[in-house]
């Protein structure tokens, strides 16, 4: 049995894959995430009420998908503004799913993913859509997220930085979120779809330019949106004639696409298939940075300082080694180099 939870805003989707069937439900996020100290109890209660699951089997798998900065290896939340806004008591920063569920479920069967990466995986697993890599996956929900899929179907970036690494998220969230829609209603007249599509085209154009600067030429873009009613698909396609655009609706029968991606991710990980490559080296691995750098020879690497809450972009292998020697991240505790 695999249990998947996808949370990116006001609503949370929960899916359970039994031996011969699947079941999906949607609940308000505050029911589950209102208090970190009550999270496990409420999760068990929801599973019992909605799916008839009384006890978590030691061999079952759990996967949690959230919007925010995560440590995928340790299954910990570093920072999640989305969950912190839902909680009435304390922040979810530092919340460990291993500590929460380790006594009930084997640690190797607990997984944590970022929401935009999960959406990208959903497209990777969709056999009905012919792929042309590299491809961009754009997720528009309560927040906006994006992930880049390389030629071999592996996600190239760990898009944890709140949530669009390229844009710093504020502009994208404003243009495509509820505030952007309110701005259109107040200031732009009656043609909401046209104005919203212009906003989406601006965000997409900026992302494509920045990805091109990193050496990638995108031929295919997947867009999964809970605001599809505002997007004029033909108008958007006309603005990007060189790109194959695929749209899925987060409010229709396709709304459970993220859960399908999460469930498939767990199944592939259990079979030890390489689908996603999220390289996140924590402080304990810091001495290996120069060696790992030689293997990857990355053009750009992000360093996240959990004390200062800052992200620093380091260009080139030599600068990486210099930064590591100067910063000594092993003394900072939970800090990361993210490739």
Question: What is the tens place of the pLDDT at every residue in 60-93?
Answer: 999 999 887 788 888 999 888 788 888 888 888 8
Residue-wise pLDDT for 153-163, tens only, equals 666 544 433 33
The CATH number of domain 2-116 is 3.30.420.40: yes
Superfamily of domain 117-257: ATPase, nucleotide binding domain (3.30.420.40)
> Where are any strands of DSSP class E within the chain?
2-7, 11-17, 22-28, 61-66, 69-71, 76-79, 110-114, 135-140, 144-149, 220-225, 244-249, 280-281, 300-305, 310-315, 336-338
Q: What pLDDT is attached to residue 307?
A: 59
Q: Are 7 and 33 in contact (CB under 8 A)?
A: yes
* Torsion region of 154: left, alpha or beta (phi above 0 gives left; psi -120 to 50 gives alpha): beta
Q: Give domain limits for the chain.
A: 2-116, 117-257, 280-338
What is the DSSP pairing of strand 110-114 with strand 61-66? parallel
Q: Which two tokens stand for residue 74?
A: 């340790």
pTM: 0.70
Within this chain, domains 2-116 and 117-257 share the same CATH topology: yes
Q: Does the pLDDT at position 53 exceed 80?
A: yes
C-alpha of 185 from chain center: 29
């Amino acid at each position: 049995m695999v249990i998947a939870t996808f949370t990116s805003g006001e609503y949370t989707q929960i899916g359970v894959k039994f031996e011969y069937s699947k079941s999906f439900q949607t609940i308000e996020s505050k029911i589950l995430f209102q208090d970190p100290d009550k999270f496990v109890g409420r999760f068990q209660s929801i599973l019992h009420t909605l799916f008839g699951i009384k006890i978590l089997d030691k061999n079952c798998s759990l996967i949690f998908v959230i919007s925010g900065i995560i440590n995928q290896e340790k299954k910990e939340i570093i920072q999640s503004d989305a969950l912190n806004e839902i909680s009435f008591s304390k922040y979810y920063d530092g919340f460990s799913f291993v500590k929460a569920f380790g006594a009930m479920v084997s640690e190797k069967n607990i997984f944590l993913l970022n929401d935009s990466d999960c959406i990208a995986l959903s497209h990777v697993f969709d056999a009905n859509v012919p792929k042309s890599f590299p491809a961009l996956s754009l997720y528009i929900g309560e927040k906006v997220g994006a992930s880049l899929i390389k030629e071999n179907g592996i996600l190239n970036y760990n898009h944890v930085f709140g949530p669009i690494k390229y844009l710093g998220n504020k502009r994208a969230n404003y243009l495509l979120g509820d505030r952007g829609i309110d701005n259109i209603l107040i200031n732009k007249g009656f043609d909401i779809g046209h104005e919203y599509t212009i906003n989406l085209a601006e965000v997409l154009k900026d992302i494509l330019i920045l990805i091109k600067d990193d050496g990638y030429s995108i031929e295919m873009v997947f867009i999964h949106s809970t605001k599809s009613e505002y997007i004029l698909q033909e108008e958007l396609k006309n603005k990007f004639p060189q790109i194959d655009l695929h749209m899925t609706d987060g409010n229709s029968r396709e709304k459970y696409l993220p859960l399908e991606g999460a469930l498939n991710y767990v199944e592939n990980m259990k079979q030890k298939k390489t689908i996603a490559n999220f390289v996140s080296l924590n402080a304990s691995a810091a001495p290996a940075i120069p060696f790992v750098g030689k293997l990857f020879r990355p053009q750009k690497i992000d360093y996240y300082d959990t004390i200062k809450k800052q992200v620093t972009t380091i260009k080139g292998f030599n600068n990486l080694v210099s930064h590591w020697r100067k910063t000594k991240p092993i003394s900072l505790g939970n800090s990361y180099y993210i490739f």
